[in-house]
């Protein structure tokens, strides 16, 4: 056993070291929050905190249910209508919802559904009726969460639908199943595991949602724990309340991650393949499927069109030379590049270590393989257990306690949050890819004596380069559009594009905000679409 461990030490030890470093950081963060609180803090859960927790869980539950319903319907419709021009482009567009900045989505939804949005303007013109400010409150929060998560869910569920063998459809046809029976006995069993996986992930994302609730909550009754932490630190300067809220959120998030860990599976760079159903759907069913696809496509595209229409009218000759915009752009770009490279390297080491504990040709038979694999997997998903505002509060307290430049502390805090935010998605892409590479080429590589850089150059990189590019693009876009931890550290000295856009929206400089939103949207879509295509692998 020791001999086997020493044989693979180069693959195991770096990943294990990084994993324990991440867990040590989580422990340090928890101790920083715990030591700073009062002795009676843990038992002082007043009615306000209970109400905040209830609404946070309630909106996350409703958002998850609605997102899954819409996602299943959309994936079902796309799976059964697989032969139309532009389908691949449409599916790729829905995939981009994963990286669209929440702030951009909210800006676009306000442009459509807000008091001065196009829907209200059309209603006033045609019927002399205004819908008012219905977007602000629970309805707006749910709308934005469905926008962000339903398309993400449909993308993963579509893969499950299209993996159903056509023989099962033929059997259902021969048994004269109705549409409902076909879904219940053929399609639902195929998507069940993915549904649980996607649902748990969406719930965690909605539970820790910040930008959406901050901008669309409307009033304190619709605040979540994340927003309440932000307001306690930035508006009320009540560090005691912020600590209490942070510890509650940290505890609940950790419990949710543990409970849902059995559901989560790979949510990576999924590719679909058409499974042609061996009969033509009825006309009524085709109408229903096309209606679902059309309505959701309009719902998804129109906010982006609004951003483009409003953004092109901005005075870019003034915006692009604004010193604060230039500073925000440079800082955002630098942080995005740094966090992307760090995410790729960390995910590579963690994925490389994990496959040693699951392969029979390596260390899967050892007694420590399962515990170490579980520890590494949990360390890569720390962001789901430690939301950005909780992490930001920990860094804020460390900044107050220890000497140092605010700019340096802000940079470290935002960079750490961005890397941890990207890691769960990066691992869901790279871990299966590296596992398959080892399964396919281990025996050949061992027989040829390929190790280190030789193995990387001839075996690993050609096979996983498209996955690496996808992870890089994901991490870049996540970092570029995040308005989480920067909300605590943002200032004129340290500003990112999302923080700059939030300030413009808060000061009602709508036209300038539209211009910055367009710049941010174009950057995200360009990187997300272009980089994976440049490194597309013939093996993937």
Would you say 475 and 538 are in contact if contact means Cβ atoms under 8 Å apart? no
CB atoms within 10 A of CB 23: 15
Report the C-alpha gap between 475 and 309 in whole angstroms: 28
Contacts of 336 (CB under 8 A, 6+ apart): 418, 475, 476, 477, 479, 480
Each residue of 394-406: b (16+ CB within 10 Å) or e?
bbbbbbeeeeeee
Q: What is the pLDDT of residue 540?
A: 47
Contacts of 85 (CB under 8 A, 6+ apart): none
Could you tell me the mean pLDDT of each successive run of 10 residues in the chain, 540 residues long? Answer: 53 82 87 69 65 90 94 89 78 82 88 82 77 80 92 84 81 81 85 83 86 82 85 78 81 76 49 56 84 92 90 87 91 93 92 77 64 81 78 82 80 89 86 80 73 75 85 90 82 86 84 90 88 67
CB atoms within 10 A of CB 313: 11
Q: What is the pLDDT of residue 270?
A: 45
Contacts of 468 (CB under 8 A, 6+ apart): 344, 348, 430, 461, 535
Q: What is the pLDDT of residue 431?
A: 83
CB atoms within 10 A of CB 447: 8
Kindly write down the DSSP assignment for every residue of 472-511, as one continuous string.
HHHHHHHHHH--STHHHH-SSSS--HHHHHHHHHHTT-HH
For residue 276, give both structure tokens: 């042609």
Domain ranges within the chain, ordered by starting residue = 2-29+64-308+322-534
Would you say 413 and 233 are in contact if contact means Cβ atoms under 8 Å apart? no
Nearest to 204 by CA among 258, 150, 157: 258
CB atoms within 10 A of CB 413: 23
Q: What is the pLDDT of residue 326?
A: 92
Kindly write down the DSSP assignment for every residue of 19-73, as one continuous string.
HHHHHHHHHHHHHHHHHHS-TTGGG---HHHHHHHHHHHHHHHHHHHHHHHHHHH
Would you say 472 and 489 are in contact if contact means Cβ atoms under 8 Å apart? no
For residue 394, give both structure tokens: 């920990």
For residue 540, give both structure tokens: 């993937």
Q: Is the pTM of this model over 0.75?
A: yes
Q: What is the pLDDT of residue 331?
A: 92
Q: What is the pLDDT of residue 330?
A: 93
Superfamily of domain 2-29+64-308+322-534: MetI-like (1.10.3720.10)
Report the C-alpha gap between 1 and 246 in whole angstroms: 43
């Amino acid at each position: 056993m020791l001999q086997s461990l020493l044989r693979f030490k180069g693959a195991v030890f770096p990943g294990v070291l990084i994993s324990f470093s991440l867990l040590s950081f989580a422990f340090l963060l928890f101790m920083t929050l715990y030591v700073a609180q009062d002795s009676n803090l843990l038992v002082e859960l007043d009615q306000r905190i209970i109400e905040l927790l209830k609404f946070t869980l309630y909106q996350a539950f409703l958002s998850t249910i609605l997102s899954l319903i819409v996602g299943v319907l959309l994936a079902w419709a796309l799976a059964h209508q697989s032969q139309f021009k532009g389908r691949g482009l449409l599916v790729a567009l829905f995939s981009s919802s994963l990286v669209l900045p929440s702030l951009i989505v909210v800006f676009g939804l306000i442009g459509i559904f807000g008091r001065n949005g196009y829907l209200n303007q059309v209603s006033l013109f045609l019927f002399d009726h205004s819908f008012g400010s219905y977007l602000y409150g629970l309805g707006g929060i749910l709308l934005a969460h469905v926008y962000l998560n339903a398309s993400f869910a449909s993308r993963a569920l579509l893969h499950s639908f299209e993996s159903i063998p056509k023989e099962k459809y033929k059997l259902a046809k021969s048994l004269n199943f109705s549409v409902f029976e076909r879904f219940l006995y053929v399609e639902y069993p195929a998507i069940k595991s993915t549904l649980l996986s996607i649902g748990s992930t969406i719930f965690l994302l909605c539970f820790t949602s910040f930008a959406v609730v901050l901008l669309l909550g409307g009033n304190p009754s619709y605040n979540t724990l994340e927003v309440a932490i932000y307001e306690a630190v930035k508006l009320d300067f009540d560090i005691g309340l912020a600590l209490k809220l942070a510890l509650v959120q940290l505890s609940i998030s950790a419990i949710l991650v543990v409970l849902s860990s059995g559901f989560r599976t790979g949510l990576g760079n999924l590719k679909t393949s058409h499974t042609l159903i061996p009969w033509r759907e009825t006309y009524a069913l085709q109408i229903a499927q096309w209606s679902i696809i059309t309505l959701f496509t309009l719902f998804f595209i129109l906010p982006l069109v609004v951003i483009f229409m409003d953004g092109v009218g901005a005075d870019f000759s003034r915006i692009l030379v604004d010193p604060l915009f230039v500073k925000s752009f440079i800082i955002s770009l630098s942080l995005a590049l740094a966090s992307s490279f760090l995410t790729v390297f960390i995910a590579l080491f963690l994925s490389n270590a994990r496959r040693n504990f699951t392969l029979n040709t390596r260390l899967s038979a050892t007694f420590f393989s399962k515990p170490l694999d579980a520890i590494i997997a949990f360390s890569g998903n720390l962001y789901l257990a430690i939301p950005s505002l909780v992490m930001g509060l920990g860094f804020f307290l460390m900044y107050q306690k220890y000497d140092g430049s605010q700019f340096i502390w802000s940079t470290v805090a935002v960079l750490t949050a961005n890397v941890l935010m990207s890691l769960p998605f990066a691992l869901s892409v790279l871990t299966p890819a590296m596992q398959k590479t080892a399964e396919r080429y281990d025996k050949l590589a061992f027989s040829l004596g390929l190790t280190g850089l030789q193995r990387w150059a001839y075996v690993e990189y050609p096979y996983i380069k498209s996955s690496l590019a996808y992870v890089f693009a994901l991490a870049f876009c996540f970092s570029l559009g995040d308005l989480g931890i920067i909300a605590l550290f943002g200032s004129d000295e340290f500003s990112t594009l999302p923080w700059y856009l939030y300030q413009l929206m808060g000061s009602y400089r709508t036209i300038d905000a539209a211009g910055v939103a367009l710049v941010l949207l174009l950057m995200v879509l360009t990187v997300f679409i272009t980089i994976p295509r440049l490194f597309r692998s013939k093996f993937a």
